[in-house]
Amino acid sequence: MKRSKKERQQLLLQTIDENPFITDEQLAAQFEVSVQTIRLDRMELSIPELRERIKDVAAKNLENEVKSLPLDEVIGEIIDIELDTRAISILDVQEEHVFQRNGIARGHHLFAQANSLAVAVINDELALTVKANVAFVKPVKAGDRVITKAIVKGKNIEKNRTYIDVLSTVNNVIVFKGEFEMYHTKGTGEQNDTSD
């Protein structure tokens, strides 16, 4: 069904509002128009490109400042975080992340995204990886968007340990999973945090 430009732009605004991480290519397929048409619509509506939308969402969601490492040291872009509970990051796989021979992402990039997210979710100035049990489930290629979620599963306050499950997906298909045991200097962020 062919929509008018006005209808399409209205739906475009609504779609991006509901999912700010949708790509121009996905929008073009959804609205059955060219990528160029979507870009022109976005320009007319003053909707920033995807990378800027990700940064905007991240800025809004990072009210709880990451304490354990500077944000620019996190591999991927954190788009949501609740310290000592959960965090989400996005990594767009580029040519420099893959083996030239087969176009498959090098494992250390996926591990680094997962590990730095596990560090970032800890509500402490110091957080270190003690142990990691990881599995590379499916190959990731250049152009893939890896969405990684870290969830705090438990704590051992006496040993200053936090246990975190990390899951990475591409188009809702699991590509990497890991269980991380993290050391930090405080028993819990909330009980021992006297920085205020």
Do 149 and 98 share a structural domain? Answer: yes
Residue 63's pLDDT is: 47
* Tokens encoding 76: 């991927």
Number of compact structural domains in the chain: 2
Do 71 and 114 share a structural domain? Answer: yes
Provide the CATH number for the domain around residue 15.
Answer: 1.10.10.10
Do 18 and 85 share a structural domain? Answer: no
Query: What range defines the domain where residue 101 resides?
Result: 64-192
Residue 22's pLDDT is: 83
Secondary element (H or E) of residue 5 = helix 5-18
| Residue whose tokens read 């975190």 | 164
Residue 56 counted as domain residue: no
Do 151 and 87 share a structural domain? Answer: yes
Residue 71's pLDDT is: 66
Residue 1's pLDDT is: 65
Count of C-beta atoms within a 10 Å radius of residue 188: 15
Using CA atoms, how far apart are residues 164 and 49, in angstroms rounded to an integer? 32
Do 10 and 103 share a structural domain? Answer: no
Model's pTM, two decimal places? Answer: 0.66
Residue 105's pLDDT is: 96
Residue 59's pLDDT is: 60
Do 185 and 132 share a structural domain? Answer: yes
Residue 57 counted as domain residue: no
Determine contact, residues 142/97, Cβ cutoff 8 Å: yes
Provide the CATH number for the domain around residue 97.
Answer: 3.10.129.10
Segments of the chain with pLDDT less than 70: 1, 54-66, 68-72, 187-196
Q: Give DSSP secondary structure letters for 10-55.
A: HHHHHHHHH-TT--HHHHHHHHTS-HHHHHHHHHHTTPPPHHHHHH
Residue 180's pLDDT is: 97
Residue 58 counted as domain residue: no
Count of C-beta atoms within a 10 Å radius of residue 101: 6
